Structure 1
Amino acid sequence: MTQTGQPQPYYLGDNPSRPVPFDGVMTVSHYIMPNFATMDWHQVPREKVIENIHSLQDPGGNLNDRIMMYIHVPYCKSFCHYCNFNRFHYPKQDSERLERYTDYLIKEIDWYMRQPYVREREFTAVYVGGGSPSTLPTSAVERLSEHLSKVVPNFDSIEKSFTGEPRTLRRPGLLDVLKDHGWNRITFGIETLNEKIHRKIGRLDTREDVDAVFDRMRSLGYTADTCVDMMYDLPGQTLEGFQDELSELLTCYDPSEIDLFTTIYLPYRPLHKLIMDGRVEQPGSPWQLLAMREHLYDTLSAAGYHNTIAETWSKRPEPSQYQTAHCARQDIIGVGCAARGNVRDMVSINPEKVDDWQRNVDEQGASTETLQSIGYEGVLDRIMVMFPRYKSLEKELLADYAARIDEDAFERVRAVLDGHLAAGVIDDEGDRFTVTKLGVIWHGNLQTDYLRHTLNTKGEVLMNHLTEARQDFDNENRFDVTPETVFIKEHDAEYPRLMK
C-alpha cells in the first residue's frame, strides 16, 4: 500500500512492480477481429442459409428474450489509417445514392420486424453505426428515424444511439433532427486532442468540429448522453502526452461516456504500413501501454466514472443495452451492408458490398449470405469469450456451459479460470466471477485465453503475430519487418476482415 492508503501502482511511478500475469501482451486490444477467425463464414450451403432464414418464422427456440437492432452505414468522408471496419468513401455530390441506401435499410428493417421470432422478443435498443452515419443527408436520417418510430416497439422509451464524426455531425439541422426524434445517445470519435498525432492517423476533422458539436447540443438544450471515443498507444504518443489529453478531455467536454481503445496496429492495415515504411513513429513500449491503461483506470475512477465494460467508462453504473448485446447477453439484428447479427442460436454477416447487399434484400428480404447455427453451446461459448469485456460471469451460466459441451472443452475453460484466479486478474465473488483492476488492464489477454480453443488455423496464425513475449517488452522497435509480417501483408485476402 502507498502512504495514502491506495493500492501500490502496478505500472506507474518511479518503482512500479510491473506484474506480468501472461506470457505475452497483446499489442491489439480490439478483439472482435479474432472472433471472425473462429468460423468458416463462406462455407454455408445456400439452401441451409435459406432454411435458417425461414426458421425465424418460428417464435420459439429463444435463447435470449431481449433483442436490439444494429444498423450499419458504411460511408465515410475519408479513411482513418487505423480503421478496419467496413466502410466506403462518401459518394461526393451523390445524395441520391445515400437516400437509396436508406430505402434499403428500411426494407431490411421491415423484413425483420415481420418475423415472429423477432416480434416475440423484448426490444431494448437501436444503434446506428458505421462508417459514419452522420454522412447521410439530414433528410435520410429523418426518414429513417420516423420509420423506426413506427415499426420498433416502444421506440420512444428504448435506448437509441447514433454515431458519427464531428465534421459531419455538426452539419446544420442534423442534431436538431436527432433531438426531435429522441435519439438519447450521441457517440462520435475524437481519438486524440494532439493535432500532430491527429493528422498522422488520418483524421481530417478538427478541434473546432468537436467544439461545434458540444456547443450545438448545449444551444439546443439537447440532454442526450455524449459518448466519445479516444485512443491511446498512438504513434509517437508519450505517457505524459496521454495523461494531458485525458485531463483536457474531462475539463473541456465532460462527456457522459468515454470509450478508450488501444490503437489498432493490424499488420496489413495502413497505419502499420506507414510505421514499417518509416513515415510515422512507432508507439512506445508495452510497459508504457500498460501504464496508460492503469492511468486511465485510476483517473476515470477518481472522476466518478464507472468501468461498465472493459474499455468503456460511463457516468452511469450499468452497461448500455448496446454493450450488453455486444457482450452476447442479448440478440442483435444486423441491418445494412456488412452488419453482423446474432439472432436465436444463429450468427451472420451481411454482404460487404452495397450492390450485393441490396440485391439480397430485393430477393429474400434478409441480406445475409452466411446465416448459420452455432447451437446453444456456441452461444454459451461466446458468453465465455466476452466475459473479460463484460467483467462478470455468473456461475449459473458456467454450470449450464459445463452441462452442454464436451468434458475436454469445459476442462480447458475451467483451467483458464483457475489460472486467472491465481494470477489475480479475476475474483471469485461467490455466485459469480468478476474482473479485477489488473484484469481490466490485461483484458485483451483474458479474452484471448477463452478464445484460443475456438480459433481456426488462420486465427491462430494472426493471434500469434499480435503477441509480444515478456523478454521483448523493452524493445524500442515493436514493428520490425519479419517473415511473418511480410507474409501477412502479402496475403491480405487470406485473413478474416473485421466488420460491424
Structure 2
Amino acid sequence: MMAIDKRTEAVYIHIPFCTNKCFYCDFNSYVLKDQPVMDYLHALDKEMELTVKANPPGIIKSIFVGGGTPTVLKPNEMAYFLQSVRRHFPEWTEDIEFSMEANPGTTDLEKLSVMREGGVNRISFGVQAFQNSLLTGIGRIHDTDDVYRSLDNARQAGFDNMSIDLMFGLPNQTLEMLAESVDKALALGLPHYSIYSLKVEENTLFHTMYQRNQLPLPDEEDELNMYLLLMERMKAAGYKQYEISNFAKPGFESRHNMTYWRNEDYYGLGAGAHGYVGRQRHVNIKGVNPYNEAANKGLPRLESFEVSREEAMEDFLMVGLRVLDGVSRTRFQQQFGVPMEQEFARPLDKMVGAGLLDSTEDGYKLSSKGILFGNDVFAEFIGSLSTN
C-alpha cells in the first residue's frame, strides 16, 4: 500500500543578499549594495501567499532561512520578513525548529533579539575556520573575534540551539590548522557542528584560479587525513556523526536537513529556491529583479517538473544513505508500496559485497569504509532502475 499523502510540514526560504561574494560560493547570492531589499521581501510575501493557496500547509515542523546571508537584513526588514512567515504559515509544532543562517559580524544584539522574538530558535553560523589568514584567503569578511562576539550576542538574545560550519581542504590549510579549528569549535560547547570539504564549483573565483593552477589545495591524502581527524575528534567529544558532514549531541540533529535526506516534501521560497511538493520539483527564477516582477504576477517559477516514481526511489536511496543510520525498508515501503530489494537488489548487493554498505535490521547504511567513499556509493543508484 502507498502512504497516504500528507500536507507539507517543512519550509525553506532564500534570502539572496550578501555583504560580499566568497571565493568558493556558487549559491544564488548578490552583493547587498543598491539591492531592492524591501521590494524583494514584498515579492517573497506574495510568493508565500500564492504557495499556500495552491498547496495548503500542514502543521510546520521546520523552517530554514538560508542564503546568501539572511542576517544582512536590517532589524526592521527582519521583523517584516518574520511577520510574513508567521502570517502565511501560522500553525507550528510546539517544538518547531526555526533555523537561520548567519555570518559572524552581521549579527548585533538588536537584530538577534528581533529574530528571537520573530520565532527563530536556531542559528547556524558560517565560521569556516579559526585562522584569520585562511578566512581572508577564502573571501570571508569576518575574523575570529567576530565569531566569539556573535555567539555571545546570540546567547544574550536567548539562543541556546546554535551550530557552526567549518570547512576543510581549504587553500593553504594544514592538518594542524584543522585540528586547531576543531579544538576551538569544540571549546564553545555547541550542540551541533557541520564540517564540509571544499568543493571547487564552476562560476566561482576559486574555479578560475584552479584552472590557472593558482589554487594551493591540500593533496588527496592530506584531505582524507583531515576528514579522519575531524571524525575522530568529534566522536571523542561525544558528538554523533549522524550524516556525512554533520555532528550533533543527542536530540540536536538538524530536523530540516533530515527532511531533505528522507526525501520528504518541503516548500522552496525565494529567488533561485528549489522546492519539492507532491512529487513536483521546482526551481525559482534566480535574479532579484526578475524574481520580484514574476512574483507579483504569479508563482515565480524558472522551471517545474514532475519527478517520476523511479527517480523518487533513486533519490530516496542516494540522499538517504548520506545519513549514517541509513535507509529504512519500512519507510521505503510506506512511500512506494514495494520492497526496497525488489527494486535495488543489484546495486545493494554490489555495495554490500564491496564492503561499502552494511545491512541493518531495517535496511542499509554506509560502512566505516563507505563513509569515506560515499559519492561512489550514491552514484550506483543514479539511473539504476532504467538499467534493470
Per the normalisation by structure 1, the TM-score is 0.71
C-alpha contact (below 8 Å) 1:393/1:434 kept by paired residues = yes
Instruction: Give 2:177's aligned residue.
Output: 241
Instruction: Give 1:108's aligned residue.
Output: 47
Q: What is the CA–CA distance in structure 2 between the aligned matches of 1:310 and 1:275, rounded to whole Å?
A: 25
Q: What is the CA–CA distance in structure 1 between the aligned matches of 2:20 and 2:302, rounded to whole Å?
A: 28
Name the aligned partner's letter for residue 423 of structure 1.
A
String of CA shifts for 1:18-68, please: whole Å, max 9, x gaps.
xxxxxxxxxxxxxxxxxxxxxxxxxxxxxxxxxxxxxxxxxxx96555421
| Cα root mean square deviation, aligned | 2.6
User: What secondary structure sits across from 1:114 in the alignment?
Assistant: helix
Q: What is the CA–CA distance in structure 1 between the aligned matches of 2:8 and 2:323, rounded to whole Å?
A: 17
After TM superposition, give the deviation of residue 419 of structure 1 in Å.
2.3
After TM superposition, give the deviation of residue 160 of structure 1 in Å.
0.5
Largest Rg, 1 or 2: 1
Q: What is the CA–CA distance in structure 1 between the aligned matches of 2:383 and 2:136, rounded to whole Å?
A: 36
After TM superposition, give the deviation of residue 248 of structure 1 in Å.
1.6
Name the aligned partner's letter for residue 425 of structure 1.
L
Instruction: Give 2:136's aligned residue.
Output: 199
Instruction: Give 1:419's aligned residue.
Output: 350
User: What secondary structure sits across from 2:100 in the alignment?
Assistant: strand
Matched, 1:184 2:121: yes
Instruction: Give 2:249's aligned residue.
Output: 315
Instruction: Give 1:338's aligned residue.
Output: 272
C-alpha contact (below 8 Å) 2:26/2:203 kept by paired residues = no
| Shift >6 Å, 4+ stretches | none
Instruction: Give 2:191's aligned residue.
Output: 256
After TM superposition, give the deviation of residue 247 of structure 1 in Å.
1.0
Matched, 1:89 2:22: no
Instruction: Give 1:353's aligned residue.
Output: 287
Q: What is the CA–CA distance in structure 1 between the aligned matches of 2:384 and 2:27, rounded to whole Å?
A: 25
Q: What is the CA–CA distance in structure 1 between the aligned matches of 2:4 and 2:286, rounded to whole Å?
A: 28
Matched, 1:76 2:18: yes
After TM superposition, give the deviation of residue 211 of structure 1 in Å.
1.3
Q: What is the CA–CA distance in structure 1 between the aligned matches of 2:323 and 2:375, rounded to whole Å?
A: 12
Change beyond 3 A, Cα 1:75–1:227: same
Unaligned runs of 5+ in 1: 1-60, 456-500
Change beyond 3 A, Cα 1:414–1:239: farther
Q: What is the CA–CA distance in structure 1 between the aligned matches of 2:256 and 2:194, rounded to whole Å?
A: 13
Matched, 1:231 2:170: no
Instruction: Give 2:97's aligned residue.
Output: 159
After TM superposition, give the deviation of residue 171 of structure 1 in Å.
3.1
C-alpha contact (below 8 Å) 1:74/1:86 kept by paired residues = yes
User: What secondary structure sits across from 2:316 in the alignment?
Assistant: helix
Q: Which moved more, 1:342-351 or 1:201-210?
A: 201-210
C-alpha contact (below 8 Å) 1:309/1:319 kept by paired residues = no
The equivalent position to 2:232 in structure 1, one of 298, 315, 331, is: 298
5 Å matches for 1:385-464?
Answer: 385-391=318-324, 392-397=326-331, 403=338, 410=343, 413-451=344-382, 453=384
String of CA shifts for 1:78-137, please: whole Å, max 9, x gaps.
111111111111124x6xx2111111111111112223x433x34211111001111112
Name the aligned partner's letter for residue 151 of structure 2.
F
C-alpha contact (below 8 Å) 2:12/2:266 kept by paired residues = yes
C-alpha contact (below 8 Å) 1:70/1:333 kept by paired residues = yes
User: What secondary structure sits across from 1:236 in the alignment?
Assistant: coil
Change beyond 3 A, Cα 1:132–1:183: same
Instruction: Give 2:37's aligned residue.
Output: 98
Name the aligned partner's letter for residue 380 of structure 2.
D
The equivalent position to 2:83 in structure 1, one of 146, 150, 153, is: 146
C-alpha contact (below 8 Å) 1:387/1:447 kept by paired residues = no
Unaligned runs of 5+ in 2: none
Q: What is the CA–CA distance in structure 1 between the aligned matches of 2:264 and 2:6, rounded to whole Å?
A: 6
Q: Which moved more, 1:421-430 or 1:338-347?
A: 421-430
Counting matched residue pairs gives 381
Q: What is the CA–CA distance in structure 2 between the aligned matches of 1:385 and 1:442, rounded to whole Å?
A: 13
Name the aligned partner's letter for residue 162 of structure 1.
M
5 Å matches for 1:41-52?
Answer: none
Structure ranking higher in strand proportion: 2
Q: Which moved more, 1:196-205 or 1:316-325?
A: 316-325
Instruction: Give 2:205's aligned residue.
Output: 270
Q: What is the CA–CA distance in structure 1 between the aligned matches of 2:366 and 2:5, rounded to whole Å?
A: 25
C-alpha contact (below 8 Å) 1:351/1:369 kept by paired residues = yes
String of CA shifts for 1:207-240, please: whole Å, max 9, x gaps.
12111111112333x2331111110011121222
Q: What is the CA–CA distance in structure 1 between the aligned matches of 2:16 and 2:383, rounded to whole Å?
A: 30
C-alpha contact (below 8 Å) 1:266/1:272 kept by paired residues = yes
Q: What is the CA–CA distance in structure 2 between the aligned matches of 1:278 and 1:241, rounded to whole Å?
A: 23
Per the normalisation by structure 2, the TM-score is 0.90
Q: What is the CA–CA distance in structure 1 between the aligned matches of 2:320 and 2:6, rounded to whole Å?
A: 17
Instruction: Give 1:486's aligned residue.
Output: none
Q: What is the CA–CA distance in structure 2 between the aligned matches of 1:437 and 1:296, rounded to whole Å?
A: 14
Instruction: Give 1:22's aligned residue.
Output: none
Q: What is the CA–CA distance in structure 2 between the aligned matches of 1:63 and 1:389, rounded to whole Å?
A: 25
Q: What is the CA–CA distance in structure 1 between the aligned matches of 2:245 and 2:360, rounded to whole Å?
A: 22
User: What secondary structure sits across from 1:202 in the alignment?
Assistant: coil
